[in-house]
Structure 1
Amino acid sequence: MRDPATLGDMAALRAEIDATDKALSALLAHRQSLIDRAAEIKTGAGLPARIKARVDEVIANARRNAEAEGIDPDLSETLWRELVDWSIRREETVLGQE
């Protein structure tokens, strides 16, 4: 990742945004594979897709991580709630709980 202060024009800035978006997509793909594995494990363990304590923990982690990185924790919570809800819907499909 390049320091934004070193990006002298919009072309360089846009290229860095595009590279960052690509990296985020790769991380989301990895997270999706982890969710798929969680659904497999939950199937064998008889666990539900939504485990409230874990949802609360993930959201608290997202807020804490945002604060540590100097970004708006409310934005982070909003994004993570959507990500968690999507993940749970994906698990419910695998678990036949939809």
Structure 2
Amino acid sequence: MVRRPEDCHSKAEIRTEIDRLDRELVERLAERFAYVQRMAELKTDPDEALVPARVDEVLDRVAATASAAGFDPGLARELWAHLIDWNIAFEREAIARRLGAA
């Protein structure tokens, strides 16, 4: 049973819900990463990993979505910037490795 924050009456109940959300977030991030992996398979040059306009677009959208949801847009932007940086590094390495093996 999922409890809303206001329906939690103990620290244990809150921790249970946070743990549930953490599992869901990790599952969503794993799903997102599968698309990053596929993108790396489709790109033909490591320089394609960084598309500044796309990064800006994603960060702006995430900040707007966070704001609308009542979440700090600056924190959301910072979290996604770190995620995107990691994804770019992964793509560059994966593409370079694939090209080196060709």
Residue 84 of structure 2 is matched in structure 1 by 84
Structure 2: runs of 5 or more not aligned: 98-102
What's the TM-score, normalizing by structure 1? 0.91
1:43-63 deviation per Cα after TM superposition (whole angstroms, max 9, x unaligned): 3xx571001110011100111
Counterpart of 1:30 in structure 2: which amino acid? E
Counterpart of 2:26 in structure 1: which amino acid? S
Q: CA deviation at 1:95?
A: 1.2
CA distance in 2, matches of 1:62, 1:2: 26
Q: CA deviation at 1:40?
A: 1.0
What's the TM-score, normalizing by structure 2? 0.87
CA distance in 2, matches of 1:90, 1:2: 37
Structure possessing the higher radius of gyration over alpha carbons: 2
**Alignment identity in percent?**
39
The runs of at least 4 aligned residues of structure 1 exceeding 3 Å deviation read none
CA distance in 1, matches of 2:69, 2:78: 16
Counterpart of 2:36 in structure 1: which amino acid? I
